[in-house]
Amino acid sequence: MTRNLFLSVLALSLCMSLSAQKTCYYDAASLNVIGKAIPTSKDYTRIDTSAYKFNDAVIEEFACHSTGLAVLFATDSPFIKARWQTSPKNASENMTAIAQKGLDLYIRQDGEWVFAGVGRPDMDKGPDYACHEGTIVKSMALGRKECILYLPLYDRLDSLFIGVEEGSYIEPLENPFRHRIVVKGSSVTHGLAASRPGMSYAARFGRDNGLYCFNLGFSGKSKLQKEYAEYLADIEADAFIFDAFSNPSAEIIHENFDTFVDIIRAAHPDVPLIFMQTERRESRNFDTWREDFEARKQAAAEQEIRDRMKTDRHIYFLPSDDFLGDEHIATSDGSHPTDLGFTYMLESISPKILKILRKYGIK
């Protein structure tokens, strides 16, 4: 809190001299922060846990992650720097710290978002260090740059200041993404093994297709709980995409599925609900217990959806046979798709999802 205050005062009052170029830092919250399905009181929190209760400390911690959030701005500065503060938590062993608590910048070029650079969290100072600072891109040509900066995928973000050259402008950029697509899921959706915050499949699907996607991935905690359904019911949404069957067992799928859909349907009677089958995990390759558990889970998921599709013509099912390719090289640990896994997955799901969305005028 003291540190936040210090950084705010710094941003308001101080331009730093670094070599010949002076850097002025601006509070990113004063720019255009996108990616919240419902507004929250804190700048970089996905879900307001004072308004929505989940009765689970881990879910409430994840709700405060900046997953899927991004800052839109334009500047004519020749460089972009950042100072930001996260939790002091170390990165998980199956993900990069850049994905967990770093920043990922893209600049619009001929209508396409092109990767420009990353904000590297400072891990050398040990796991108790939470203040990061770095140059994301430098030596850029003159002129206006329209930027999207993706925020940490798997950590909370307590503050963020963007540094530009003294005398340059920095201003909010209008959200260019269309419609409102909710992506609700597990660690796969959370983007655990993406290499950078903008490489989760939800971010890529949105960026590649110009669609406004909200990332509601909750690692290990996405079990069709009614508390999520109640939150989803409150969202103004044009479509829902679900990675809903990665975390629950077959038994929990049977127990929770109908109530979960009932709650959403009461609020959104005609909105398409697109359910992806969970991926075929690579941890099944030799583990017979896992093979049985996963096969039963997938069967339960397909059965529940097929049943529901008989009476609900706005529910869709996407098989997952080709989500991870066939070479067994698409995960960081047997479960979590890497950028390669997400590439395979997007090659499979993007055309199918876009075809469904077009039926609803979403394009």
Which residues are at the interface with its own copies (CB under 8 A)?
A: 90-98, 102, 107, 114-118, 120-124, 126-127, 137-141, 145, 193, 195-196, 199, 204, 282-283, 285-290, 328-334, 338-340, 343
Amino acid at 48: D
The least CB distance from residue 120 to its own copies, in Å, is: 5
Cβ-based nearer residue to its own copies, 14 or 295: 295
Burial class (CB in 10 A: 0-12, 13-18, 19+), 191: buried
Residue with tokens 């109530």: 259
Cβ-based nearer residue to its own copies, 289 or 313: 289
Contact 44, 155 (CB under 8 A): no
Q: In DSSP terms, which residues pair with 162 in a beta bridge?
A: 26, 82
Cβ-based nearer residue to its own copies, 42 or 89: 89
The CA distance from 317 to 36, in Å, is: 26
The least CB distance from residue 328 to its own copies, in Å, is: 4
The CA distance from 318 to 352, in Å, is: 8
The least CB distance from residue 320 to its own copies, in Å, is: 18
Phi and psi for 105 in degrees, rounded to 5?
A: -105, 135
The least CB distance from residue 289 to its own copies, in Å, is: 4
Q: Which residues contact 233 (CB under 8 A, 6 or more apart)?
A: 263, 264, 266, 267, 268
Q: Which of 185, 226, 222 is CA-nearest to residue 52?
A: 226
Q: Which residues contact 272 (CB under 8 A, 6 or more apart)?
A: 239, 240, 314, 315, 316, 356, 357, 359, 360
Residue with tokens 């601006």: 26
Cβ-based nearer residue to its own copies, 128 or 270: 128
The CA distance from 325 to 323, in Å, is: 6
Strand order in the sheet with 178-185: 211-217, 178-185, 239-242, 273-276, 315-318
The least CB distance from residue 253 to its own copies, in Å, is: 22
Cβ-based nearer residue to its own copies, 260 or 342: 342
The least CB distance from residue 225 to its own copies, in Å, is: 26
The least CB distance from residue 206 to its own copies, in Å, is: 14
Q: What are the CA-CA distances from residue 61 to residues 54, 56, 260 (Å)?
A: 10, 9, 22
Cβ-based nearer residue to its own copies, 259 or 285: 285
The least CB distance from residue 363 to its own copies, in Å, is: 21
The least CB distance from residue 149 to its own copies, in Å, is: 13
CA 174 to chain centre: 20
Cβ-based nearer residue to its own copies, 88 or 254: 88
Q: How many residues does the chain have?
A: 363
Cβ-based nearer residue to its own copies, 17 or 285: 285
- 3-state SS string over 200-217? CHHHHHHHHHCEEEEEEE
Cβ-based nearer residue to its own copies, 1 or 142: 142
Cβ-based nearer residue to its own copies, 132 or 221: 132
The least CB distance from residue 271 to its own copies, in Å, is: 30
Contact 335, 282 (CB under 8 A): yes
